[in-house]
Amino acid sequence: MTKKLDINGTTLAYDESGSGSPVLLLHAGIADRRMWHGVLPALADRHRVIALDLRGYGDSALPPDPFAHHDDVVAALDALGIAQAALVGCSFGGAVAVDTALAYPDRVSALALFGAAVSGHEWSEETEELWERLVGEVDPEDLAASAAGEVRFWVVGPHRRPEDVDPALVTFAEELDRRALAAEQALSAVDVAELDPPAIDRLGELRLPVLVTAGAADVPDIVRLADRIAAEVPGAVRLPDVPDAAHLLPLERPEPVATALRDFLG
């Protein structure tokens, strides 16, 4: 059953399970909290696990007022009575997790990053060329076509063919992404504050346990970002890339993700 938090002038949706040390799961920009459905129950025997829909995504509302996602994360922790939590992020959710740890270092006990983006990172020409080769031009008003293109790029990935990937995963990912694209269209009309300065040149400021990995079939920029996070964050743990998995790693391969988290979080 979906739960709701009233914070910062909006309503955020979340799922919660288990008890113990708190863990907050932050979804990719092409998805919502449902991408964690295979990971959440695997952690709930020893952790209080919350999967949150960021503002505008999934079942969370989007009022027109200016906001910052990292402020919402901390307000959600406040509303849940959590002084400090481990943040687990995939893709855009990873960027929000890192921003939160930099903006509110006393509120974050650990970071686990799966195919994470980082605020301030600029995509390489290689990524743009891969998009042109794999997807090409898509009408942004056609959410179904846009979702199909993004899933081909991110969820199938540049190193696999669509027929190599579970059709049920592709179908569910396209449904998640259609909803996320509608959220992004709405978010484009709202003033969303970014971390200033952004995280990409501040990774060395992180002073907490950090776990980082990616799917071996993800786009090269994401794998390189994982390498950069591991190189620049003192003491970060870089796990090997997960075979036969792309950008929605926790959705596609929940078992190794859950195992890594259980080992890392203790």
Of 186, 202, 229, at which residue does a domain stop?
186
Do residues 33 and 104 both lie within one domain? yes
Q: Are residues 116 and 26 in the same domain?
A: yes
How many structural domains are present in the chain? 2
pTM: 0.97
Measured CA to CA, the distance from residue 184 to residue 92 in angstroms comes to 12
Q: Are residues 203 and 85 in the same domain?
A: yes
pLDDT at 152: 97
Domain identity same for 172 and 255: no
Q: Are residues 130 and 147 in the same domain?
A: yes
Q: Tell me: do 15 and 138 sit in the same domain.
A: no
Say if residue 163 is in the same domain as residue 99.
no
Residue 126 predicted with pLDDT over 80: yes
Q: Which of 137, 166, 186 is the last residue of a domain?
A: 186
Report the CATH number at residue 235. Answer: 3.40.50.1820
- What percent of the chain is modeled with pLDDT above 90? 96
* 112 and 90, same domain (yes or no): yes
Q: 90 and 9: one domain?
A: yes
Predicted local distance difference test score (pLDDT) of residue 23: 98
Same domain membership, residue 40 and residue 113: yes
Range of the domain at 143: 125-186
Do residues 77 and 179 both lie within one domain?
Answer: no
Do residues 87 and 103 both lie within one domain?
yes
The pLDDT of residue 66: 95
Model confidence at 139: pLDDT above 90: no
